[in-house]
Amino acid sequence: MLTYTLRRLLVAIPTLLLISLVIFLLVDLAPGSPASEIPLTVPAEVKAKMIEAMGINEPVHIRYLLWLKQFFWTEPLYAIDAAFGTDFADNAPRIISYSSKVPVIDYIAERLPQTLIVIGSAYVIAILIALPIGIYSAYRQYSWFDQIGTFVSMVGYSVPTFFTGLLAIIVFTSWLGWFPSIYNTSLRVVDWASFKQQVTQMFLPVAVLALFNAAELSRYTRSSMLENLSQDYARTARAKGMSERTVVLKHVLRNSLIPVITVITLGMPAIFAGAIVTEQVFKINGIGAALIGAIHVNDLPVVQTIAFITAILIVLFNLVADILYGILDPRIRYD
Amino acid sequence: MAERAAPVLEVKGLRTIFRTRGGEVHAVNDVSFHLNRGEVLGVVGESGSGKSVTMMSLIGLLPAPPAENRGGEVLLGGRDLLKLDTRALQEVRGARVGFVFQDPMTSLNPVFTLGDQLMEPLRKHMGMDRTAAANRAVELLELVGIPDARRRLKAYPHQFSGGMRQRVMIAIALACDPDVLIADEPTTALDVTIQAQILELVKELRHKLGMAIIWITHDLGVIAGIADRVLVMYGGQVVEQAPVRELFANPQHPYTRALLRTIPAISGPREGRLKVIQGQPPILMAPPAACPFRARCDYRHDRCDRENPLRRAVDGRPVGQGHDVACHWTAPAPVAEVIHA
């Protein structure tokens, strides 16, 4: 297993390099230029200097290599410096956002907590809701519970979050006035009152996203459970006199979880990337919003870096999914 | 064999139906039989004759719904299993009645070790702790002829061959010293040499442990080799019941005879094409009001269409004790002449 993991990590390096090149070129080839964001009132020679300062007029391969060096070498050095108070980085140039002029990594670090709190808790809640629903729907297939669950999942999965989000805002904010529609990023949780406020403002986006994710996951869980409930080994477990609880929650669930875990794990990178649409709808100042903002103003370094970190996470969680697969299913061993 | 001693298992008038979209399917129709201590009862019939369903409904193993019991008694140790609640039934399953299923490749849970699966009933029914259960599991694996048993406890099913897995299934069924072992076509999915090994194993275990066995199969050769008494089933009912020698020497029911004719003879001149029984067993959407075999029977007459024959004694002993058959023909039905209309 260890050899397998190391081998997979090594293979990931060329994969990621290729992905980084594709991302860089794609973003670079896209129409528009960061220079177009400079107001027309700025004199031409000043504009030229600004362009030079941003490094946009270098050829693309130079900019790519520079970005690579900064991403894989300079930024980790800064991270080490920040953690241990050392000075390895020695003021080397960092990846700087064109529009806000701060290091991209700092910019991301500033946005990340909002995304992790809102999208992350939505994901966790979705899992906690979806698994029991999926298990029970399968165990009582075609019961009322299952029928209603199926209907809700279908609706939850097929209606996009920008619709459910707006609907939730209309109902719960405009009509009922229970929850705010805008997420206040600057809120600091210091006491009970601010904690309550934080929970209130998180409620709608978390509910909308959790419904969407739970709908998908509960379907996976249900179909996987159904497949396994009719297997011979479930009958064997019953013939041994095991209780229904043991049969379903031990024998069948363990087998059914294998594909479900994969789906959950592969969905993890999406937490980082943020639910772009939901963040827009509820004005959450997270990574998704940062990405959209950066695309609007042609802030190439931000777009490239966010896209690339997402790519790294996807590759990483693919590996994690494979390793979990091997742990859960003894028939799959990679050595 | 002490036939008058109290049987270990007695089934009286068992009826089971399945609720389907098309209506009720009557799968088990008024089945009665008993099982004596230390006896091997062979149950034969082709696929769909109701033999597996009968045995599974004894012990509540059929998924309900769609399965539903419609009467009868299943007496095991003086208790009627059909009247027990789920929890009490779970105490009987795996403890007093062991089950071995047809396909050893899928009957074991792929993600748990064999030790885990073997120790589960021991811990539940016998209240053993891990160490005691592990020791007993090693004993059981050795009993069914698996060498190097202690190390094998940590193995997973996929590391075992089909024959080995069936041995493990038998070990699981025997774990709590059951009174009755129900083996549902346990050798059908195995190749012939492994079949012979499993048969030998079961014969040996039967003498060692003295339990009673119900052996379901459609293979009459297997029946001849292992059974003391045979139950022939058709259309969810018992059509003939006899000691094994008697059944092979003096088959009464046209279905039994037809089954015996489907066995190819190894010696003697070739008989031309192997005999087959034309058609399929019926799917009964109502309790049978006529003989279920009539559509495929060469000796059908008008009474067969009006009346479902009751089991009646052939050799003068009470029904169930000696040789009995459910056929309107009282004299052995004519063998040579076919009176088909």
Give me the residues of A, 253-272, that contact B with CB < 8 A: 254-255, 258
Q: Are residues A215 and A261 in the same domain?
A: yes
Lookup result for tokens 């509540």: B60
Closest-CA residue of chain A to B119: A240
Q: Is B93 touching A (CB cutoff 8 A)?
A: yes
Question: What is the rounded CA–CA span in Å between residue A279 and residue A276?
Answer: 5
Cβ within 8 Å, pair B91-A241: yes
**Same domain, yes or no: A199 and A115:** yes
Together in a domain, B84 and B19? yes
Q: Does B92 touch chain A (CB under 8 A)?
A: yes
- Give the pLDDT band of residue B47 (cuts 50, 70, 90): confident
Q: Do B95 and A241 touch (CB under 8 A)?
A: yes
Are residues A133 and A251 located together in one domain of the fold?
yes
Give the range of the structural domain holding residue B140, as residue numbers without chain letter.
Answer: 108-175
Residues A227 and A172 in one domain: yes
> Are the beta carbons of A236 and B169 separated by less than 8 Å?
yes
Residues B12, B128: one domain? no
pLDDT at B1: 44
Pick among B85, B111, B180 to test the A interface (most A CBs inside 10 A): B111
A160 φψ region: left (φ > 0), alpha (ψ -120 to 50), beta (else): beta
Picking from B111, B117, B173, the nearest residue to A330 by CB comes out as: B111
Q: Which of B295, B313, B32, B41 is nearest to B182 (CA)?
A: B41
B206 in any annotated domain: yes
Q: With respect to residue A334, please indicate whether it lies within any of the assigned structural domains.
A: no
Of B125, B153, B175, the residue at which a domain comes to its end is: B175
d(C-alpha A104, C-alpha A97), whole Å: 5
In A, residues 225-254, which contact B (CB 8 Å cutoff)?
231-233, 235-244, 246, 251, 254
Query: How many residues are listed for chain B in this entry?
Result: 341
What is the enclosing helix (H) or strand (E) of B134? Answer: helix B130-143
Asked if residue B160 belongs to a domain, the reply is yes
Q: How far is CA B277 from the centre of its chain?
A: 21
**Which residues on chain A are in Cβ contact (under 8 Å) with B172?**
236, 240
Whether B209 shows a pLDDT value over 70: the answer reads: yes
Whether residues B91 and B23 fall in one domain: yes
Is the same domain home to A164 and A42?
no
Angle at CA A80, nearest 5°, toward A78 and A86?
A: 90
The three-point CA angle A35-A40-A42 to 5° equals 85
| Tokens at B56, concatenated | 């599974």
Q: Which of residues 148 through 167 in chain B touch A, CB cutoff 8 A? A: 156, 158
CATH number at residue A129: 1.10.3720.10
Element (H, E) at B105: helix B104-107
Nearest residue, CB atoms, B156 vs list A237, A241, A330: A330
Residue contact A241–B94, C-beta within 8 A = yes
- A283 is a domain residue: yes
Q: pLDDT at position B340, please? A: 45
- Residues B90 and B7 occupy one common structural domain: yes
A to B CB pairs, distance under 8 Å: 77
CA distances from A85 to A88, A93, A211 (A): 9, 18, 44
Residue of A nearest to B123 (CA): A242
Backbone angles phi, psi at B173, to 5 degrees: -65, -30
Q: Dump pLDDT digits (tens) for A109-141.
A: 888 888 888 888 999 999 999 999 999 999 988
Q: Closest residue of A to B109, CA-based?
A: A233
Structural domain for A289, as ranges = 104-328
The residue among B86, B89, B90 with the most chain A CBs within 10 A of its CB, best to mutate, is B90
pLDDT of residue A223: 93
Same domain for A27 and A137, yes or no, is no
Residue B102 domain-assigned (yes or no): no
- What's the confidence (pLDDT) of residue A274? 67
Q: Is residue A91 part of a domain?
A: no
Domains of chain A: total? 2
First to last CA, chain B: 45
Same-domain pairing of B89 and B222: yes
Phi, psi of B188 (to 5 degrees): -60, -35
Q: Are residues A276 and A230 in the same domain?
A: yes
**Residue B193 within any structural domain of the chain:** yes
Flag whether the ipTM exceeds 0.90: no
Domain-ending residue, one of B278, B303, B323: B278
The whole-number average pLDDT for the span B329-334 is 63
Q: Would you state the pLDDT for residue A256?
A: 92
Q: Does residue B2 surpass a pLDDT of 50?
A: no
> How close is the nearest chain A Cα to the Cα of B341, in Å?
46
Q: How many CB atoms sit inside 10 A of residue B83's CB?
A: 11
* Residue A135 CA to its chain's centroid (Å): 25
Contacts of A246 in chain B (CB under 8 A): 120
pLDDT in tens, B106-151: 899 999 999 999 999 999 888 888 899 999 999 889 888 888 889 9
pTM here is 0.81
Whether residue A1 has pLDDT greater than 80? no
- A97 within domain boundaries: no
Mean pLDDT across chain A: 86
- Calculate the CA dihedral of residues B33, B37, B39, B40 and round it to 10 degrees: 60
Instruction: Render pLDDT for B222-274 as a digit per residue (tens, 0 to 9).
Output: 888 888 999 999 888 888 999 988 888 888 888 888 888 777 766 766 666 66
Comparing CB atoms, the residue among B61, B98, B111 nearest residue A238 is: B61
Count of domains forming chain B? 2
Mean pLDDT rounded to a whole number for chain B: 84
| Cβ–Cβ below 8 Å for B93 and A236 | no
Chain A: closest CA distance from residue B336 (Å): 45
Of B87, B158, B172, nearest to A240 by CB-CB distance is: B172
Tokens of A254: 């363990």
Q: What is the 3-state secondary structure (H, E, C) of chain A?
A: CHHHHHHHHHHHHHHHHHHHHHHHHHHHHCCCCHHHHCCCCCCHHHHHHHHHHHCCCCCHHHHHHHHHHHHHHHHHHHHHHHHHCCCCCCCCCCCECCCCCCEHHHHHHHHHHHHHHHHHHHHHHHHHHHHHHHHHHHHCCCCHHHHHHHHHHHHHHHCCHHHHHHHHHHHHHHHCCCCCCCCCCCCCCCCHHHHHHHHHHHHHHHHHHHHHHHHHHHHHHHHHHHHHHCCHHHHHHHHCCCCHHHHHHHHHHHHHHHHHHHHHHHHHHHHHHCCHHHHHHCCCCCHHHHHHHHHHCCCHHHHHHHHHHHHHHHHHHHHHHHHHHHHHCCCCCCC
B256 is written with which tokens? 């039994």
